[in-house]
Structures are given as structure tokens and as C-alpha cells.
Amino acid sequence: MSRTATALKRLIVGHPISSGELGHTLLPKGIALPVFASDALSSMAYATQEILLVLALVGLAALSLVVPIAIAVALLLAIVIVSYRQIVRAYPGGGGAYVVAYENLGFTAGLAVGAALLLDYILTVSVSITAGGDAIISAIPALADHKVGITLLLIALVTLANLRGSKESGRIFAVPTYGFVVAIYALIITGLVKCLGGCPQAESAGEHLEPEAMLTAFVLLKAFAAGTTALTGVEAIAEGVPVFRFPQSKNAAATLGILGVLSISMFIGVSWLTDHTNVVYTEEATRTVVSQVAHAVFGGGPMFYVIQVLTALILILAANTAYTGFPVLASILAKDKMMPRQFRSRGDRLVFSNGIVILAVSASLLVVIFDANLNKLIQLYLVGVFLSFTLAQAGTVMRWRRMREPGWQKSAAINAFGGAVTGIVLVVVILTKFKSGAWIIILATPLVMFLMRAVYKHYTYVTDQLANPERKPLDRRPGHQHMVILVEQVDAATARAVGYVRSVRPADLHAVAFDDSVRDDWAKLAPQVELTLIPTGESRKARLKKHLRSLRNDLGRDDFLTLVVPEVLRSKGLWQILRQPGLQRLKASFLREPGIQVLDVPLDRSEAQAASETHRSIEPARNYVLVLVAGVHNATLQAIEYAETLRPTDLRAVSFGLDPEATEKLGNDWLASGIPHPLEIDDSPFRDIGGSLIDYVHRFKPDGVKRVVTVVMPEFIVSKRRHQLLHGQTALIIKSRLLFERGVVAVSVPYPIED
Amino acid sequence: MSNNPGWLDRLTKPPEAVRSENLRKWAETISGATPIGEASEQRRHRVAGVVQNIRIDPRQGSGCIEATVIDGSGEILAKWLGRQSMSGIHLGAGIVIEGMVGVGLDEEKVILNPEYQLVPGPERG
């Protein structure tokens, strides 16, 4: 990248951070509360409003029921908080609902919670940011027409901030969260004081309401279910125990307690004021309930605007917690083989970029589909919340029963009661919200589970295949190398390929050409190598394939048949692929041809021009062979056997950019495998494997004439193309960069995985 | 921005340089550790750093493990012979090694069979 381009990227996304700088700082309670509670507290901005919307259907008289319903929801919140204080004690290592469910209730429960949480994180972003947009519009009603645009803009800003990543985010959280709490308390206390002399009335007080429904038990349940949105975000503390200061469990439990007290008092306070200022709220209202209450209590003064700004900020912070949660969960799921492995890795700035982008795109899509309508979006919410509440508590009960720590019966009873209550609420939520939107989630959750299960089955199958049949290195005679040079024209690249192949001294060697015009030049370049003309007929690809297949049939199982492809590269990078699509497709198609390897001998155009007009083949004196490995399995062993047939000056396996734990495992497996070659495990501190490999290659100072570096890449090939997506494109990306390095020869050794 | 002429330089400062600075800051907190760049040959030293590179070389006798350790001031090769497992050594690990500093084939600093202790590194927790 040019200096300006680099500077521009740094300016927007920031400096790359080395994997090392991941180190976490432990949070004191005072900082942990805003970090983890912003999600839970932010729902105070819309929970009362949701209850009111349901009650409005019954008519003005029913609106007073908002207080008793809020008290019922607060009671539920208290039960869940007490129960989660036990979960925090049971899981000092962080009891994310997924981990708890998977560990104690098995694969399917883990899958269900994983899927529910992924969808929930997406909804958290859509709901919170939409509500944040509503708060802004309440302050400046003129913006009402641009609601979708404002919401999407906010999502884009939060996404960008998260792609940058931040180490000091804790302090950034503190100001708006505490500010919001203080502002809401100021609102409640001022309101109460003013009510002593007759409550101020909201702008919508006395509006006419046409009753559309009777007051039935169903409507009451529906209003209750709508209010339970106040519970969202409570689980965040249980997931974050490891970042609390010591004693971690105790501090986390205390923080949960504080959160409970704050949420309950704020929720009941706001609901009481809503009732006494006689707010009437319908779908058509422009201003949110909280803003109407604030307007009634403070008038249109500065405090009104302060509340709007703080509400918008805390809602954006709440969305932000999903931006931390979603990518981490996706990476845990990827580690457990339930999501594509691309989600495991961090990007330039040490954040899980893939997860962040997927989250932002899905949330934006929801906002567009639902037209940034908070009430419609909220209907999809809560199913996932209560499903994970219930399974996490049930899982913890199982854990108490298994561990039988002193006093476990009491804890287990608390969790069992909490789980039963949230289970009932889950049913209530599904029943009352099914028609208005919950059905989408009820359909989507099993669908996501099904996809995750398919990914899991595929990865497990591949792992089995790679270990089966068990191969031991060098327990048989090494195979012979048979090579075929593809001659499209006789140029500097062809000459270099002939020199390379000579140094390998294969058991058998010949050249193939599609037309006879190259015969004379070939005879000058390599008179002793027989040139076979491939008969005309179908496409070139099909003819070449047929030729190689018939050769392959005569070879032993352990022999190698290599197609050598000389190539003069005319343009940089991807343009090359666009320029010579035929050749690239041909090479790619041989990946799927069992028992055939493709060896690329590329030459840069400038290098080709510098080579003299009369092409002479020069055998390189040094051939350093590197085998790229990520684990010890059959595909690796096959690639090493292949590398051994190349008569290397030096043969070594190299590995880049693995997780730290994975490097220890790879080392142990290598020591145990008895492979007689050195393995070098190198860091790729900025997670750019291609760049690290190229730096490594440069150590051998390849010039292409006397010194060549051969990079052998084992690739496993799955028969279904869509499955190939699950295996990343690392090999392809590395290959496209290696081709442009002077003196580098690249070989793919495919290992087919049969279905 | 105009009154701060270095801003472009700061933005394009190689990430490797930033990393070295951070490693130095961390290594200075480990008591009794000599910066690798200042560790003189043929003397016993205690150095602290991060494992940058691991090499397992069966040709040098079974179970030969080498680790390149860096601390921002230089690099040193720790070499253990005859080991059947990695025993906690992994990339990015914080490590304190102690032993006689020698010179290897490529003029690099080497400690043979050092005593070592894994410590929480500045990187990866």
C-alpha cells in the first residue's frame, strides 16, 4: 500500500494491534456496572411504553394498570437477578448461557442457545438503535421523516467505532450510563415533588382513545409480556465475571444486586409518573413516553434535552454491548465447530471483524424491513432472551446437582425456581406475541440451529477423514515422482520450469502441448524430453484431464503425478486471473482430480524480458522446500511425502498465525509423530499469514536461477463446492501472493475428503 | 493538524516499532532481567521476553525444541534437548529464561538448556 493509502486506513481504522495487546485489564465494580448494565438499564427507555401500547387498545381506563403490571415485571426481574447471582457463583469463569447449556444440557441445548443468542444480538442492535433514534426524534420532531436514515447512520457509526476496537471503552461507558441513571432519578424525584401539589399533565393527556379490545386475561398477559423487555441485558454480567476485580464472583454478584435495585426503582418510578401525568401513547405518537413524562415534569427546558441525549447515548451503548457479545460468541461457536472458521480470527485491529460486519448488515436489514418501527421490532425480541434465561438456569441446576458443593441445595432451588418462572414467561411471550412477529424468530431459530448443526457435522467428518486411515510417516517406501510439463509456448518461464524439473530428477518426465507449433523451439530447449501432442477434440481442459488420468491409472497409489505449469505473469494480483481465466480455471480444476498435483513456475514479466533471447534451462543449485502446515494429519503427511520427492536442499514444515494454544498442540503432535523433518512455528503478529510467509521466504534469498524456494501447500478438497466455503480461502490468497515473489515455486497437494 | 508536523509520521510508524516499545515496557517490570540486547556472551544472564518463534528439529537428536525469545531490545535462542513435550511453551508465551549465553552458528545469542519459567506475558493475557 502506498504511504497515503496506509495513512488513510490508519486514520479511519487505527493502527494494527499485535495479538499480544489483547491483555485484559480487570474492572472495578464502579466501571463494571456501566460496562455491563447499559443494556439492562437502557430498556427502561422503552419498557413502560410497550406496556402502555398494549393497554391503549382497551381504552383510557385501562392505562392505570401500567403500575401493577410494572410491579409484576419488577418482581420477575428480582427473581431473575437473585437466580443469576447464583449462576455467577457457579461460574466464576464466566457463565455465558451458551457455555452453561452446552456443558450441562448437551449439544442440542447448546445449539438452541447459540442460535437464539446470535439472533438476539442482532435484535439488540436493531431495537436499541431504533429506540435511540426515537429519543433523538423526540427532542427534534422535525427529523421524524428521516427515521430510517438516522437509524442506519447510527448503526454505521457504532460499527466503525467497533471495527477500530478500543481498550479504554470502560471509562467511555461510565459517563452516559451514570448520567442516564442520575437523570432518570432526577426526573422521578422532581415529578414526585411536583405531584404533591397536583401532578403536571403530559401533552397527550386527555387524548381520545377508541377502545378496540375488551380487557381480558390475555390482554393483561400481553401487557406483562411487553413489559418483560425490561429484563433484557441482565445476563451480560454473568458472562463477564472474568473481567471483574477479585474476588470476582462476589463483586459480580454485588454488581448484579445494584443493577437490580436501580432497574426496579427506575422502572416503577417511570411507570408511576406515566400513570399520574396521564400519558396516552399510541403507534401514531411521535414522542416517546419517557420524553413526554420529561416534558411534563421539566417543561421544555434544558433538563428535557439532557434526558433525550442521555437516553439516546445509553441506547447506543446498549447496542454496543451486542457488538462485543456477538463476535465473541461467534468465535466460541466457531471454535466448537458450529460456525465457519472464518469467524474465529481477529482482524487488523484485534477485533473479530467478520462477526462485526455480519452483525451490522443483519441489524441494518431488520431496520429497513421494519421501517425503523420500534414496536414492530420489539415483537421479535424476548423469545431468545427468555429461551436463554431458562436454559442457562436449568443448566446451572444440573451443575449444582453434579458438583454437590456445600449448601448446593439452596442455590439449586433458587435457580430451579427462577428457571421455572422464566420458562412460564417464555410460553407467555410466545403465545401473546406469536401473531405480531414472534413467529419469525420461532421459525428462524430452528433454521439457524439446523445450519449450525450441518456445519458441525461437516467439520467433524473432515477431522475424522484426516485421521483415517491412520498413516505413519515413512512406514512404507516413498512414492516416485512423475512429472508432465505443460508447454503452451516456449519462453523464459518454460525454460525455468525445465531447469527446475531437471533438478528434481523425476522417475518419469515428458512434456505435453496442444499444438505442434512449439515443437521446434522445444527441441532446442530440451531435446531429451519427449513432447506429446494432445489429440484434438473436446476442450483443452478435458483433453489434458483425459491424458493425465490415463497416466495416473498406470501409477502406484503412493506415486505422485505432477502437472508443471510455467507461467509468465503479465499483470499484478487479481488482474492476472482475469487476463488468463482459462489457465487459472485449468489449474483450479486439477485440485479436484485425485492423485494429481499442480506445480506453478511463475516468472514476472520484467524478469522474463531480462532473460536472454535464447532460452536455456538452468538447474537451480539450491531448492529450499517449505511445507505449510496447520496440524498433524493425513493431508500434512501426504504433503511432506510429496516434498521429499523434490530432492530438496532443505525441507522444513512451517506454520503461521495459529492460536497460542494451538501452537503448543502442534508442537506436541509433531514431537509424537516421528516426522523426521524440522517444524518451525512462527508468529504472524498482525494476522497477515501471506505477508509473514513471504517475509520467511525472503530469508532464503531466492533468485529463481540458482536458488529456488518451493512452497508446498496441502489442501483438503471436499466434494461439495459449497462446503469449500467452510474451509476458508487462505490457500488461494497465499498462492495468489506467492506467484509474484521472485524465485518461488508453488505446489498444491490436494487431499480429497470423500463424502 | 498543521501545528503538528509529525502526525503523518505517527500514522505510518511501523506497527513492529510500536510492538517493540510495548515489549520493552513489559520486560522492564520483570525483576532481575537483563535486556537481551545487553546480555553479554559467556556470562550467565536472566532475560524476560515473549516466544516469537518455535522450532522442533528432530535431526538434532529427538526432542530438540528451540524458541526465539524477543523483548524489544534483541532476540535470543533458547534451546532444549531431549524433550518429549512442549510443557507449556507456545507462541506468545511470556517466559523468563536463565543460563549461560553463548553464540550460535549464525552469530546469534543462544542459551542451551536454560532454566525457564512461564509468566503472564504482555501479550495474550
The three grid cell numbers given for residue A415, joined into one nine-digit string: 435457580
Considering chain A, what percentage of its residues have pLDDT values greater than 90?
38
pLDDT tens for residues A161-198? 877 765 445 667 788 899 999 999 999 999 999 999 88
Q: Minimal CA–CA distance to B76: which of B56, B94, B53? A: B53
How many CB pairs lie under 8 A apart between chains A and B?
A: 107
A599 touches A486 (CB < 8 A): no
Residue A27 Cα to chain centre, angstroms: 25
CB hemisphere CA count around A433 (13 angstroms): 31
Identify the band that residue A660 occupies on the pLDDT scale cut at 50, 70 and 90: confident
Cα A46 to Cα A484: distance, rounded to the nearest angstrom: 71
**CB nearest B85 (choices: A11, A20, A668):** A668
Name residue A16's amino acid: P
At residue A405, φ and ψ (nearest 5 deg) are: -75, 160
Identify the band that residue A1 occupies on the pLDDT scale cut at 50, 70 and 90: very low
Cα A695 to Cα A1: distance, rounded to the nearest angstrom: 16
pLDDT tens for residues A473-529? 555 566 789 999 999 888 888 999 999 999 999 998 999 988 888 888 898 888 888
Considering chain A, what percentage of its residues have pLDDT values greater than 70?
88
Cα A643 to Cα A647: distance, rounded to the nearest angstrom: 8
A656 touches A690 (CB < 8 A): no
The three grid cell numbers given for residue A704, joined into one nine-digit string: 529463481
A32 touches A251 (CB < 8 A): yes
pLDDT higher than 90, residue A690: no
Q: Name chain A contacts of B16, Cβ cutoff 8 Å.
A: 685
Cα A64 to Cα A80: distance, rounded to the nearest angstrom: 26
Is B15 in the A-facing interface, judged by CB distances under 8 Å?
Answer: yes
Q: Name chain B contacts of A675, Cβ cutoff 8 Å.
A: 58
Q: Which residue has the higher pLDDT, A656 or A501?
A: A501
Q: Name chain B contacts of A670, Cβ cutoff 8 Å.
A: 56
Q: Minimal CA–CA distance to A122: which of A371, A341, A445? A: A445
Cα A398 to Cα A408: distance, rounded to the nearest angstrom: 11
**CB nearest A671 (choices: B18, B85, B125):** B85
Q: Where is average pLDDT lowest: A134-138, A640-644, A651-655, A718-722? A: A718-722
Nearest-neighbour CA in chain A from B39: distance (Å): 24
pLDDT higher than 60, residue B103: yes
CB hemisphere CA count around A679 (13 angstroms): 30
Answer yes or no: do A6 and B19 touch at CB < 8 A.
no
Cα B83 to Cα B98: distance, rounded to the nearest angstrom: 18
Q: How far apart are the two ends of chain B, measured CA to CA in Å?
A: 36
Nearest-neighbour CA in chain B from A22: distance (Å): 5
Q: Name chain A contacts of B81, Cβ cutoff 8 Å.
A: none
pLDDT tens for residues A257-309? 999 999 999 999 999 999 999 999 888 888 899 999 999 999 888 999 999 99
pLDDT higher than 70, residue A748: yes
Identify the band that residue A630 occupies on the pLDDT scale cut at 50, 70 and 90: confident
Beta A508-513 vs A481-487: how paired, if at all?
A: parallel
Chain A contacts in chain B segment 16-35 (CB below 8 A)? 16, 18-19, 22
Q: Minimal CA–CA distance to A34: which of A236, A186, A307? A: A236
Name residue A463's amino acid: T
Cα A232 to Cα A228: distance, rounded to the nearest angstrom: 8
Which H helix or E strand runs over A487?
A: strand A481-487
> Exposure string (b/e) for A243-271, b if CB count within 10 Å is 16 or more?
bbeeebbbbbbbbbeebbebbbebbbbbb
Cα A233 to Cα A318: distance, rounded to the nearest angstrom: 8
The single-letter DSSP state of residue A688 is -
Cα A326 to Cα A320: distance, rounded to the nearest angstrom: 10
pLDDT tens for residues A378-409? 889 889 999 999 999 999 999 999 988 888 88
User: What mean pLDDT do residues A721-738 have?
Assistant: 71
Identify the band that residue A22 occupies on the pLDDT scale cut at 50, 70 and 90: very low
CB hemisphere CA count around A492 (13 angstroms): 18
A6 touches B12 (CB < 8 A): yes
Which H helix or E strand runs over B109?
A: strand B109-112
User: What mean pLDDT do residues A528-548 have?
Assistant: 83
> Exposure string (b/e) for A115-146, b if CB count within 10 Å is 16 or more?
bbbbbbbbbbbbbbbbbbbbbbbbbeeeeeee
Q: Which residue has the higher pLDDT, B3 or A335?
A: A335
Q: Name chain A contacts of B14, Cβ cutoff 8 Å.
A: none
Identify the band that residue A468 occupies on the pLDDT scale cut at 50, 70 and 90: low
User: What mean pLDDT do residues A76-99 have?
Assistant: 86
Which H helix or E strand runs over A576?
A: helix A574-579
User: What mean pLDDT do residues A199-209 have?
Assistant: 85
ipTM: 0.85
Is A22 in the B-facing interface, judged by CB distances under 8 Å?
Answer: yes
Answer yes or no: do B123 and A22 touch at CB < 8 A.
yes
Nearest-neighbour CA in chain A from B60: distance (Å): 9
The three grid cell numbers given for residue A277, joined into one nine-digit string: 401525568
The single-letter DSSP state of residue A244 is B
Cα A155 to Cα A365: distance, rounded to the nearest angstrom: 11
A566 contact partners, CB below 8 Å, separation of at least 6: A485, A486, A487, A488, A491, A493, A494, A496, A497, A601, A603
User: What mean pLDDT do residues B34-56 have?
Assistant: 90
pLDDT at position A342, please?
Answer: 75
Answer yes or no: do B58 and A678 touch at CB < 8 A.
yes
